[in-house]
Structure formats: C-alpha cells, structure tokens
Structure 1
Amino acid sequence: MSNMKITLVRGLVNSNAKQRATVQTLGLRKIGQSVIREDTPANRGLANAVRHLVTVEEAD
C-alpha cells in the first residue's frame, strides 16, 4: 500500500470538539506537524473530515 503525508496547516481554535478529536486521532498536535499514514479508506475519511485544517500529499 502507498502512504500519505498529512500536515496540520491551520489551528484548532474555532473548530468543534469532533474536529479536534479527529485531528488528535490522526496524531497531529501542532501547526506544521506532519505524520505518515497508510493510504486506507479509514485514514482518507479522517483526513477528508478535516480537509480545511490539513493538507494531504503522497509519501513514499
């Protein structure tokens, strides 16, 4: 499977509790922090739920 790199690019100040929990589930804490996750439908769905807060790129 391929991997994807997810980077938090916006803060969580005005986000609701569900969005904060989603970002925490992805393993992100600070603006600019990146994580590498497998490109699965579950991880794609998490990233899609907070697409206005993160950027997603392909990673090797």
Structure 2
Amino acid sequence: MQYLVEPIGKEFSNRALDALASRLSAKHSQGYRFHSTIEVTQTGCMGFGASGTTILAVFEKI
C-alpha cells in the first residue's frame, strides 16, 4: 500500500473548507483516496521558534 501525507492546517472558515474539498477532489483525480487525519505538533525551524498544532491528511493510493 502506498500512502501520501500532507498538512492541511486547522482553519475552519467557509473559504478554507471549500479549498479543502478542492484539494481532496484533486488528490482523488491523481489516484488517491482520503484515509484519515492526524493531529501533530510542529516545532519551529531546528526546534527553535513557536510551535503549534496542525492536521495531516493521509491519502492511500488506489
């Protein structure tokens, strides 16, 4: 099984939801289907700077 993981952020405005729907559709047209999400903590560059959380989308190759 082949997977693709990419950050999708944590923004939930109407505009961001439309962009997410477009992104999911684009991945499907590339032969991937949405599998799951994972919430992770991102640190700053080389461990310095502000850290925050983001959501990763996991896609699987079909």
Q: TM-score, normalising length from structure 1?
A: 0.30
Structure 1 or 2, whichever has the larger Rg, is 2
Q: TM-score, normalising length from structure 2?
A: 0.30
Which structure has the higher relative contact order (CA within 8 Å, separation 6+)?
A: 1
Q: Higher strand fraction: Structure 1 or Structure 2?
A: 2
